[in-house]
Structure 1
Amino acid sequence: MAWNEPGNKGNDPWGNKGGNDKGPPDLDEVFRNLSKRFGGNGNGSSGQNLSSFSLIIILAIAFVVWGLSGLYTIKEAERGVALRFGQHNGEVGPGLHWKPTFIDEIYPVDVQSVRSVPSSGSMLTSDENVVKVELDVQYRISDAYAYLFSAVDANASLREATDSALRYVIGHNKMDDILTTGRDAIRRDTWKELERILEPYKLGLAIVDVNFLPARPPEEVKDAFDDAISAQEDEQRFIREAEAYAREIEPKARGEVERMAQQANAYKEREILEARGKVARFELLLPEYQAAPEVTRKRLYLDAMQQVMTDTNKVIIDAKNNGNLMYLPLDKLMKEKPATMPDVEPKPQQNVNSSSIPTTRIGEPLSGRPSREERARQGRE
């Protein structure tokens, strides 16, 4: 039962025991009671003084609370964007700061952390093929105020710009280049195109890196493209092996060329010196030939025959009786040397008779015919 319902004879919340009080006590009466407790006389002037004093205390407490509420801290990796009545009032560095509450507003922004925005999808290439690509853009906030207020959502704007730049670059490249050797070029072109798109928007973002993840062909033709990629890798491997072989062979070839050039120069010098020696010898021989032609020719003939017969091991002997030539295999006789037997005397050869073998002196014709010099002398006579 409520305290003020009929039949309730209990005490009300205001302390009315008899139930004759019609309502709560008056505020003036409350202040008078408080004034009496503090030594006042309970009249109206004392109540007014007490009200003014209480108001001052309340205002002082409110001012202290307002002052303390303006303290804030900016972390080392953050920058604070200060707004005064909604207008930009500069940036605040790391540390403990104070701002007038309800006048300035501070928005801390992390400017050192590297963030990423992914982009992926199936895109059409320049040779009318479909390829699945994935891209990850890493960026950092370079201007905190532009990042907060140049666009409604700078991250969403960057995501849309990344998707647009990636589709533009993929649409201007062939599928083979996207899947194999042209990935680095696509990465650099996408980076440049993304910066070109973001420049007029002034989002306060700085692109740190662009990672172009391995692209994949459609599942229907994946096996064929895997074979093509393997073939291109084999091609690059063969090219590297050929280059290594060329680097190995080239020094040897250069050395061989240098050796042949030196041998040619040596042969040239030797021939020149020999020719000069022959000329000098001819110049020395000419006066002797003019003085004694016959003796000089015979001496030349003997020298020539000695030079020719020096390295030969075969002797042809003229038989004056029947005009036949006998062959004496001195080379085999020289090879078949008898073993060393000091107690056994060598047997005389039965087939060879020294008295029956005619000999020729050096300079005589071999077959009984006159020599070339004699025929030439006879012709002159």
Structure 2
Amino acid sequence: MSWNEPGGDKKDPWSGRGDQKGPPDLDEVIRSWQEKLGGIFGGGRGGGEGSSGGPIKGLGFLAAGAVVLWGLTGFYIVDAGNQGVETRFGKYIITTQPGLNWHFPAPIEQVEIINVKQQRYIEVGYRSAGSEQALGSVPKEALMLTKDENIVDVRLAVQYQVKDAKQFLFNVANPVATLKQATESAERGVIGSSKMDFVLTEGRSEIVAQIKKEIQDIMDSYQSGIQVTSVNLQDAQPPEQVQNAFEDAIKAREDQQRLINEAEAYSNDVVPKARGAAARKIQEAEGYKEQVIARAEGEVNRFSKLLAEYKKAPEVTRQRLYLEAMESVLNESNTVVVDVKGGNNVLYLPIDKMTQQPSSDLQPHVPQSAVEQPERAATMEQPALRSSTRGRDARGR
């Protein structure tokens, strides 16, 4: 009958305190287990018939427990972004993915966890120190020759990650050192095929792309399991001994380019204006040409018609031409014609004052007789003009 069945008095087999309520005493529980283990190994108080088989049975239980515990140590967890590489007595078995996995515990099998998402990097030509990232040059790695036999100081940072954990662990003895040597080799090859000005100025992006491609080709040929993600050109400059002279040359080149740009800007501003002015002059000349030609053609046409009229009445035509010429000439001159025929008064006319523009506040002084005389002259001029017109018509007829 068990201790907790009805009628069993509910006695606790560990503590023996069936009459007490509450949790068992920890010391009593430990003492009870010690007694049981002592009974298994023959150290108990009871020396019954089964005491001779107790040690063998106890060893079997311990061995089974040890085997179970040993098997439990084979469980392992691979986190996200990692891969597990299992080896059996040093030989590759399988690559496990993130999650819970199991393998034969050591010393039969072992597992090495590789982070395949971590961004790693190496520095070539310099070493960064501290949080300020001060660049300390390594001349042995940084100095190299260019195509035009100049020396440049180049510093690179290569970022990479593991793309195949098996290849990364087994194909190359030291993948990081191999990557660094491949970077130096590719860098010297690319820099050696380029000129110094190209390396220091506009060719940086192209050089970085070439170096990255060559590094990846080398590492793929070794099956290193490394993927180069980026190559950063930290600095490229001439050696310290010639930096001042080289900076002066760069400033002179920049001034040259600036002046060229200013000249091109001035040219782009002046040339269109000059072309527009030239086109305007050409159009004006064309217009003047057409005007002169049209006027000449009109004059020719007029003289042709005038010649026909002249042949019909030469005297009349000559007289009309003379009058028209006199009218044109006298129209451009300041001429005053006064007809004083039949008059006895002496006229005083300030011709120079009359021809000038009278001001608004100063009027020229004219005698009263001179004011009355022009009115009479104008009245008398009309019959004289009519008589001259009749005489001209009569001569024409």
Number of the residue aligned with 1:200: 221
Secondary structure at the aligned position of 2:72 is classed as helix
Number of the residue aligned with 2:92: 87
The yes-or-no answer on 1:55 pairing with 2:60 is yes
Number of the residue aligned with 2:153: 132
Number of the residue aligned with 1:101: 105
Number of the residue aligned with 2:180: 159
Secondary structure at the aligned position of 1:106 is classed as strand
Secondary structure at the aligned position of 1:202 is classed as coil
Q: 1:288/1:234 Cα in 2 relative to 1: closer, same or farther (>3 Å)?
A: same
Number of the residue aligned with 1:210: 231
- The letter for the 1-side match of 2:263 is A
Secondary structure at the aligned position of 2:117 is classed as coil
How far did residue 278 of structure 1 move? 5.8
How far did residue 151 of structure 1 move? 0.8
State the distance in 2 between where 1:332 and 1:163 align. Answer: 105
How far did residue 205 of structure 1 move? 2.2
Alignment of 1:347-366 (within 5 A): none
What 5-or-longer segments of structure 2 have no aligned partner? 1-37, 126-141, 338-350, 371-397
State the distance in 1 between where 2:93 and 2:312 align. Answer: 125
Alignment of 1:202-281 (within 5 A): 202-249=223-270, 252=273, 256=277
How far did residue 222 of structure 1 move? 2.6
Question: What whole-Å deviation, never above 9, does each CA across 1:219-271 have from its counterpart, x for those lacking one?
Answer: 43332212101111212222333344445456645655665576567657766
Question: What whole-Å deviation, never above 9, does each CA across 1:23-63 have from its counterpart, x for those lacking one?
Answer: xxxxxx996734763x732564x34xx52354135313431
With 149-158 and 167-176 compared, the bigger mean Cα shift is at: 167-176
Give the alignment partner of residue 149 of structure 1, picking from 153, 157, 170. Answer: 170
State the distance in 2 between where 1:132 and 1:62 align. Answer: 62
Answer yes or no: is the 8 Å Cα contact 1:32–1:42 preserved in 2: no
Q: 1:300/1:84 Cα in 2 relative to 1: closer, same or farther (>3 Å)?
A: farther
Answer yes or no: is the 8 Å Cα contact 1:36–1:42 preserved in 2: no
Alignment of 1:17-96 (within 5 A): 33-34=42-43, 37=46, 40-41=48-49, 44=52, 46-47=53-54, 51-52=56-57, 54-63=59-68, 65-83=69-87, 86-92=91-97, 94-96=98-100
Q: 1:99/1:302 Cα in 2 relative to 1: closer, same or farther (>3 Å)?
A: farther
Q: 1:344/1:95 Cα in 2 relative to 1: closer, same or farther (>3 Å)?
A: same
How far did residue 134 of structure 1 move? 1.6
Q: 1:305/1:173 Cα in 2 relative to 1: closer, same or farther (>3 Å)?
A: farther
Superposition misfits of 4+ residues, deviation over 6 angstroms? 29-32, 330-333
Secondary structure at the aligned position of 1:116 is classed as strand
Number of the residue aligned with 2:116: 111
With 292-301 and 116-125 compared, the bigger mean Cα shift is at: 292-301
Answer yes or no: is the 8 Å Cα contact 1:314–1:331 preserved in 2: no
Query: TM-score, normalized by length of structure 1?
Result: 0.62
Secondary structure at the aligned position of 2:42 is classed as helix
State the distance in 2 between where 1:241 and 1:30 align. Answer: 105
State the distance in 1 between where 2:203 and 2:369 align. Answer: 95
How far did residue 347 of structure 1 move? 9.7
Number of the residue aligned with 1:187: 208
Question: What whole-Å deviation, never above 9, does each CA across 1:114-137 have from its counterpart, x for those lacking one?
Answer: 222222222223333333222222
How far did residue 152 of structure 1 move? 0.9
Q: 1:69/1:345 Cα in 2 relative to 1: closer, same or farther (>3 Å)?
A: same
